[in-house]
Amino acid sequence: MPAGWKLVYGVNDRLGSTTFLRTNLGKAFPKHWSFLLGEIALYSFIILILTGVYLTLFFRPSGAEVVYDGSYAQLRGMRMSDAYASTLDLSFDVRGGLLMRQIHHWAANLFLAAICVHLLRIFFTGAFRKPREINWLIGVTLFALSVLEGFAGYSLPDDLLSGTGLRIAEGIVLSIPVVGTYLMFWMFGGQFPASETFIPRLFTVHILLIPGILLALVTAHLMILWHQTHTQWPGKGRREQAVQGEPTFPSFMAQSGAFFLYTFGFLAGLAAFVQINPVWLYGPYDPDEVSFGSQPDWYIAFLEGSLRIMGRLSTTVAGHTISWNVLLPAVVLPMVFFTLIGLYPFFERWATGDERIHHLLDRPRNAATRTAIGAAVIAWYGNLWAAGGNDVLSNTFKIPLFWTTWFFRVGFFVLPVLAFIVARRVCLSLQRRDLQKREEGVESGLISLTPEGGYTERHEQSAPEEAAILRTRQPRELVAAYPHHIIPLPTPGRVRTQVRTRTNRFYLNYQTESHGGGQGDLKRDGAVEKEKKEGS
C-alpha cells in the first residue's frame, strides 16, 4: 500500500474522518444570490488577515518622535511619530506596500458593508427566528466589534485625520460620569495624545485582541450554521423541515472558491485604481490642527452625525458636570441601538407567540410590520449617517449649516415614522396584488367577446412555481384574542397581557388594511370562505 494511503487510513482509524466527510460533504446548500452576502463578509475577513500580516511586517507601532527622510519630498525633514513615518515608508518605499494598504482598507469597508447588508437580509426575511437566535446575536456582536476594529485600524497611522477621530473618542470617554477620567487615562496611558504609550496598545488591540475574538465568533457562526442547516426561499415542494439545494462537494465548494477569487480580484482592482485614505496629504497629527471636512469612514458616520445634531445640554451635580450633549448621542445611543438590534428576535417571538422552527424564509411583503420596522431603522440610521457630513453638504450645496442641522434634528424623529407608514402600506398593497393574482390568475393579453357584446380579458393560472411563492402565510392560530377579565382591575398581570395582545395584533392582524393577505384577516377570510361554500 502506498505511504499516502497508509497515512489516510491511519488518520481515519484515529479520528473517523471519512465518516465525518461522508456525512457532511453531501450537505445541501440552497442556491440564491442573497446568500452570497454572508460569504462576501467571510472572504473580506480572510483578505483582511492576509494583507494585515503583510502590513504588520513593515509598520512600526511607536509614538517616538523621528525626523522623516523618506521619498515623499513634501514632508521630508518634518518631525512626526515613528508610526506615521513607517506608514509613509509603506506607501512610497516598500514594494507593493501602497497596494496592500489600499486592499486592506477597502476590504475593511467591504467587510462591514457586507455584514450590514447580510444582517438586513436576515432581518427582512425572518432568518433570525427559531432556531437561529444565537447566530443573530453573534452577527450583531460581529458588527459592533468590526466597527471598533475599523476605527482602531485607521487610527494607527497617527495622521491628522485619525488623530482628530481619537480626539473625539477621548471626549466621548470623558463624558462618562464618575469613571470617564479614569477610563481615559487607562486607555491612553496618560494625558491625550500620549502617543508613545497609546499607539503600541492600540496596535495590540487591532492585530491581536479584536481579531482573535472576531475569528472565534466567525468560527462559531459557521459551526452553528452548519449544524442547523441553511434557510431557503419558499417555492414549489419546499417545506419547513426539509432543505433543498446543491451538495457541499463539489458544487458549493467550487462556487465558493471561485467567488473568493472574484472578491479578491475586485478588491485588488479597487485598490489599484481608486485611492483611499491618502495619509500623506493630511500630514502628521498635531493637537492644535484640524483639517477642513474631516470625515470618518462611513461606518462611524452615524455616531458623528448624532454628535453634530445634539443640542447643548449639560448638568452640574455636586460640582461635577455631566455633558449630556456628548454622553447621550455617543455613549447611550449606540449602546441602546446595538442592544435593541440584538434582542429583536426575542421581542418578535414574544409578540407573535411563534415558537415554531423555521427553515423557510419570509418574503418581506408578507411580514409587513417587521419590514416597516426595518425601513424605519434604515431611515433613522441614514439620517444620522448624512448628518455626519452636514458641513460638507452645507458647503457643497451652499446651504446654511444651521438649516442642515435642524433638518437632521427633525428627521431624527419624523423620517422613521414616515418610512414605517410608507413601507407598511407598500407591503400590504403587494400582498393584495399577490392575492389577486392567485385568485384571478395573470393577464394573458387575449380579449374575448361576451354574448352580451362586452369584452373581457382572459386570465390564466400562474405557473406552479410562481403560485407557490404567491401563497402568503396565514398563521391564524398566532393572532391573540383580546383578554376578557371579570373584574377589570389594573393589576400587573392584566396590564402585561393587554400590552402583549395589542403588540401581537399590531404584528399579525391587518383588519383595516388588508383583505386576506399577510397574516390574515380572520373575520373577512371566514366570511369569504362561507360565501364561496354557499355559492357553490
- Max Cα separation, the chain? 97
State how far the Cα of 116 lies from the Cα of 96, in Å rounded to an integer: 30
Helices (H), 189-284: 195-204, 210-228, 253-273, 279-282
- The 3-state DSSP composition of the chain as helix, strand, coil percent (nearest 5) reads 65, 5, 25
> What is the chain's pLDDT, residue by residue, as a tens digit (536 residues)?
677 767 766 766 666 666 666 666 667 778 888 888 999 999 999 999 999 999 999 999 998 999 999 999 999 999 999 999 999 999 999 999 999 999 999 999 999 999 999 999 999 999 999 999 999 999 999 999 999 999 999 899 999 999 888 999 999 999 999 899 999 988 888 888 777 888 999 999 999 999 999 999 999 999 998 888 888 888 777 777 777 777 777 778 888 899 999 999 999 999 999 999 999 999 999 888 776 667 888 999 999 999 999 998 889 888 888 899 999 999 999 999 999 999 999 999 998 888 888 888 888 988 889 999 999 999 999 999 999 999 889 988 999 999 999 999 999 999 999 999 999 999 888 888 887 777 777 777 778 777 887 887 777 777 766 766 766 555 555 777 666 665 666 666 777 778 888 888 888 766 444 443 334 333 444 444 444 444 44
Q: CB within 8 A of 534, min separation 6: which ones?
A: none
Q: Does domain 26-294 have CATH number 1.20.810.10?
A: yes
- What is the Cα 125 distance to its own chain's centre? 14
369 contacts 494 by C-beta, under 8 angstroms = no
CA dihedral 333, 339, 344, 349 (to 10 degrees): -140
pTM metric for this prediction: 0.87
State how far the Cα of 300 lies from the Cα of 389, in Å rounded to an integer: 11
Q: Domain coordinates of the chain in residue numbers?
A: 26-294, 478-511
* Burial of 402 from C-beta contacts in 10 A (0-12 / 13-18 / 19+): exposed
Q: CB within 8 A of 105, min separation 6: which ones?
A: 153, 154, 271, 276, 277
Phi and psi at residue 284, to the nearest 5°? -70, 160
Nearest by Cα to 194 from 277, 279, 81: 81
DSSP 511: T
